[in-house]
Structure 1
Amino acid sequence: MQGKTIVLDPGHGGKDVGSTGGNGTYEKDVTLRTALNVRNKLVQQGANVVMTRDADTTISLGARTAVAQTENADLFISIHFDAFQTSDVYGMTMFYNKPQDEGIAQKIHDQIFKSDMNTKDRGVRFGDYHVIRENTKPAVLLELGYISNKNEEARMQTDAFQEQISTAIASGVENSLR
């Protein structure tokens, strides 16, 4: 990972709380915690990691993608937790926008599900999200669970989940940049 630059984008922040779980969990808080944990793992592997935000601040979608360009990123990863109208939906989905980024999303997906996340595999899919669509650098968006599902909302806040997911993402990043 020496010489590789990864931009981590914790979704939402500041005025934009993202989705809110049934117990009041804000997506912006969990995305930041997860991204900071992933950053620590990648830095330990020798990567240069740049965060689009490392505190509870509002950052525009355009500014987020600009960071990848400015830093000449080898990879841009946007971290999110999904939500649905009903609380029975659960699982994780990895999104890409450009065909050449599908393999990166697949490698991160494979590492996550190799580590038995005990959730539904919602697959690797095309996503029309600004931060990956408008990005000139390789980019993926990860939906790491449903904050609208009470079990997943509780789990995403545990140290065990944070350790497991950040380790899996870091391994997936390493595999995709080899």
Structure 2
Amino acid sequence: MRPSKPVLWAMLALCAGTAQAATIAVDVGHYLAAPGATSAYGETEFGYNLALAKVVAQRLRADGHVVLLIGAGGDMDSLRARPAMASGADLFISIHHDSVQERYLSTWTVAGKAQRYSDISHGYSVFVSKDNPRYTESLGCAEAVGSAMKRAGFAPNLHHVMNDAGEGYAVLDPDLAVYQSSLIVVKYATVPALLLEAGVIINRDEALAMKQPDTRRRVADAVASAMSCLTPE
């Protein structure tokens, strides 16, 4: 018989060696059969998400947090199942990398193959849902992550609020690139939840930067430093 979510988290906390650790679910955005955006160099967003999520999870564990890595196998095709797995956690974080609308894309050649790119957008953004039952806490953690990313030298991405971008997102904090959304994984979570678009991989420069180990480490450090937003029960 599989343990319930609260029992599972308790077991993980014991393995972490601390009863005071926060429990954090780190979700790898997308999956192998539907890998999300494609970078300016033809690489999948899922690959970027998985690599970054692993670094974030490792960094959080180093701080003593209990971490559940969701979707790392690449076979989780249910968006609602992802936040459901986080039941009992203190926070759900979905890791993603961004793109732009089709009409902004141009074509160039990489290693003899045509690829799509756009340099119009760059930087990070953070999304929360007002439909989340823990919205106030979600927003607090989203602002903490946005602030930490900005302090770490990452640029807030305001492309989502351009009048002609066709995005339809309401900006909650333009200085920190925090947005209101109806994205399923944050909307249907029963715990505080946010989605982090760490960078724009359709952007040629940023696609390369986001692959660098130092960049991933800086993102992970920023996320870890923002965990002071948590008040474990």
**What SS does structure 2 have at the residue aligned with 1:32?**
helix
TM-score for both structures, normalised by structure 2: 0.71
**What SS does structure 2 have at the residue aligned with 1:108?**
helix
Looking at structure 1, the residues matched to 42 and 211 of structure 2 have their Cα atoms a distance apart, in angstroms, of 12
Looking at structure 2, the residues matched to 171 and 134 of structure 1 have their Cα atoms a distance apart, in angstroms, of 26
- Counting only pairs closer than 5 Å after superposition, residues 103-142 of structure 1 correspond to structure 2 as 103-117=140-154, 119-122=155-158, 123-142=177-196
Number of the residue aligned with 1:171: 225
Given residue 89 of structure 2, which amino acid in structure 1 is its aligned partner? A
Alpha carbons 1:107, 1:176 under 8 Å: kept: yes
Instruction: Summarize deviations over 1:137-175 as a string: whole Å, max 9, x none.
Output: 100001111111111111110111111111111111x22
Alpha carbons 1:90, 1:152 under 8 Å: kept: yes
Q: Which moved more, 1:95-104 or 1:152-161?
A: 95-104
Alpha carbons 1:15, 1:58 under 8 Å: kept: no
Post-superposition offset of 1:121: 4.2
> Which structure is richer in relative contact order (CA contacts within 8 A, separation 6 or more)?
1
Given residue 38 of structure 1, which amino acid in structure 2 is its aligned partner? V
Alpha carbons 1:16, 1:58 under 8 Å: kept: no
Q: 1:59 aligns with which of 77, 97, 118?
A: 77
Post-superposition offset of 1:115: 1.0
Q: 1:90 aligns with which of 85, 100, 122?
A: 122
Q: Percent identity?
A: 31
Looking at structure 1, the residues matched to 143 and 156 of structure 2 have their Cα atoms a distance apart, in angstroms, of 15
Does 2:46 align with 1:28? yes
Large movers: runs of 4+ above 6 Å: none
**What SS does structure 1 have at the residue aligned with 2:80?**
helix
User: Higher helix proportion, which one?
Assistant: 1
Q: 2:33 aligns with which of 15, 18, 24?
A: 15
Does 2:180 align with 1:143? no
Q: Which moved more, 1:94-103 or 1:157-166?
A: 94-103
Alpha carbons 1:96, 1:105 under 8 Å: kept: yes
Instruction: Summarize deviations over 1:27-76 as a string: whole Å, max 9, x none.
Output: 0011111111011111011111001122333331011011111xx01000
Q: Give structure 2 stretches of 5+ with no counterpart.
A: 1-17, 105-117, 159-176
Aligned Cα RMSD in Å? 1.5
Looking at structure 1, the residues matched to 75 and 204 of structure 2 have their Cα atoms a distance apart, in angstroms, of 26
Number of the residue aligned with 1:152: 206
Looking at structure 2, the residues matched to 21 and 13 of structure 1 have their Cα atoms a distance apart, in angstroms, of 15
Given residue 72 of structure 2, which amino acid in structure 1 is its aligned partner? D
Alpha carbons 1:82, 1:145 under 8 Å: kept: yes
Q: Which moved more, 1:99-108 or 1:133-142?
A: 99-108
